[in-house]
Amino acid sequence: MIKFDLHTHTTFSDGKNTIEEMIQKAISLGLDTIGISDHSFTGFNTSYCMKENALDEYINTIKRLKEKYKDKINVLCGIEYDYFSEIDTSCFDYVIGAVHFLKIENEYIEVDNDKETLIDCANKYFNGDIYKVAEIYYSELANVVEKTKCDYIAHFDLISKFNEDNKLFDENDVRYIDAWKAAADSILKTGRIFEINTGAISRGYKTKPYPSFDIFNYLKNNGAKFIFSSDSHSVKTIGFGFDYWRNIYEF
């Protein structure tokens, strides 16, 4: 059994439960460590992230609860740092690097909102070329370590969230493969950890984790290290599917 989960969200960003509720649930599940990692502030889109002035309260709340529950569980203070955020990360125990938006001209386009957003982006800027959208996503992801100084990489192929059964684009297309391999090669040079993220499964978007098995095997064969993450947004999904997928994504 995997005894820790470091990718979780609370009511400080787009989660459904408080920090304390998440900690209490982790204790009941028998975890040794729970990490809280709410979304960093992005001024151009505040629908999902921490409020701009909430960071001190967030850190102090975790610090207080870390002390309160120290005899039952180790509580870590993390952040999911979006590529387009600007924050000081020195106060966190760890940083998760993520790309949630594409910046095209002066527009920020959300990668994981819905498939229509990606189709509209392709139509508006690239004459319907959805692979160009994927290429931009992976070009940003390639630089996520440099930009965020993160400890590990969130949901590597997040752009595939709405692509179950290749409904949006063909993941076997050479352009798509070349795009993710370029990003993978760039990140591999940094030695950062990649997460196996079960969040899209628990929320009903996918039937398999991020990254895809092909990407996972490529990363593994090139020396990558991994961590399981639930990307949980409620007490119901902490550690979701870890035991099952650990037997499939072997590392």
Going from N- to C-terminal start, the domains of the chain cover 4-246
Q: What is the pLDDT of residue 140?
A: 98
Per-residue pLDDT tens over the stretch 225-238: 999 999 999 999 99
- CA–CA dist 179, 135 (Å, integer): 5
HEC string of 123-186?
A: HHHHCCCHHHHHHHHHHHHCCHHHHHCCCEECCCCHHHCCCHHHCCCCCCCHHHHHHHHHHHHH
In the numeric block, which tokens belong to residue 8? 């979780």
For residue 16, name the pLDDT band (cuts at 50, 70, 90): very high
pLDDT for 14 equals: 98
**pLDDT score of 87:** 93
Mean pLDDT of 179-208: 98
Confidence at residue 234, expressed as pLDDT on a 0 to 100 scale: 98
Residues 6+ apart with CB under 8 A from 48: 13, 14, 39, 100
* Residue 247 Ramachandran class (φ > 0 left, ψ -120 to 50 alpha, else beta): alpha
Q: What is the pLDDT of residue 190?
A: 98
- Cα(238)–Cα(26) distance, integer angstroms: 7
Q: What is the pLDDT of residues 27-81, one digit of tens each?
A: 999 999 999 999 999 999 999 999 999 999 999 999 999 999 999 999 999 999 9
Question: Residue 45 has what pLDDT?
Answer: 97
Give the pLDDT of residue 244.
96
> Which SS3 state, helix, strand or coil, does residue 30 take?
coil
The pLDDT of residue 1:
77
Backbone angles phi, psi at 102, to 5 degrees: -105, 140
pTM for the complete prediction? 0.97
The burial of 177, by beta-carbon neighbours within 10 Å (0-12 exposed, 13-18 middle, 19 or more buried), is given as: middle
How open is the CA angle 76-145-189, to the nearest 5 degrees?
115
Averaged pLDDT score across all residues of the chain: 97
Rounded to 10 degrees, the C-alpha dihedral 139/144/147/149 comes to -160
> Whose structure tokens read 């005894």?
3
Secondary structure (3-state) at 242 = helix
Given a contact cutoff of 8 angstroms between Cβ atoms, the answer to whether 144 and 154 are in contact is: no
Residues 120-171 have pLDDT tens digits of 999 999 999 999 999 999 999 999 999 999 999 999 999 999 999 999 999 9
Which CATH number describes the domain made up of 4-246? 3.20.20.140
Burial class (CB in 10 A: 0-12, 13-18, 19+), 48: middle
